[in-house]
Amino acid sequence: MVLRTQPPSRAHLRLLSAADSAPPARRRDRYSEIPDRRLAAILAAEDVAEEHGLSAHVRTTCYVHRGWVHQCISDPMHVLVVTGHRWCRRCDRTVEVRVEEAFPGSVELFCDGCGVPPDTVANREVLLACRTSLSAMHGGEASTLYVVPDR
């Protein structure tokens, strides 16, 4: 018998405020050079969440490029053939990404090979992460990015 549990959702994440306990020094200093302090806080929060089970494929930030995931998703590093992220299995090609950052923003995936939009679970994760990233970037000075349930 295999027990399945739901993966932790983004709904349980929140940004830490100054009133919260300080994170360990290694986390506190990891993103100190990033001028956008809100982005830095979300990067750090997602790092911690990933350590506790958040899938790396649903992050709104990229710890490698130190930015919003929609801004670097077109980098070849984000093509994962094994999992199908940014990959068209129909024609074995890299899926291209078109991002429009102007508010409210939009993200499209397309395959230059077969011309069919790649509709797989992995590519839907790419779309969701990029759309959430766009939304977070346009979130302004809001103190929270994620809905935190009361209980």
Q: What is the predicted pLDDT for the residue at 149? A: 40
Residue 98 has pLDDT above 80, yes or no: yes
Max Cα distance, the chain (Å):
53
DSSP 92: T
Give me the phi and psi of 63, to 5 degrees please.
-75, -25
Residue 126: exposure state from Cβ atoms within 10 A (0-12, 13-18, ≥19): buried
- Calculate the average pLDDT of the chain: 81
Among 8-17, 57-66, 108-117, 120-129, where is mean pLDDT lowest?
8-17
Q: For the segment 35-81, what is each residue's pLDDT rounded down to a tens digit?
A: 988 899 899 999 999 888 888 998 999 999 999 999 999 999 999 99
Higher pLDDT, 113 or 22: 113
Give me the phi and psi of 110, to 5 degrees please.
-150, 155
Q: Where are the beta strands (DSSP E) in 66-143?
A: 67-68, 87-88, 93-94, 96-100, 106-110
Run of H or E including 42: helix 37-51
Before 117, cis peptide (omega within 30)?
A: no
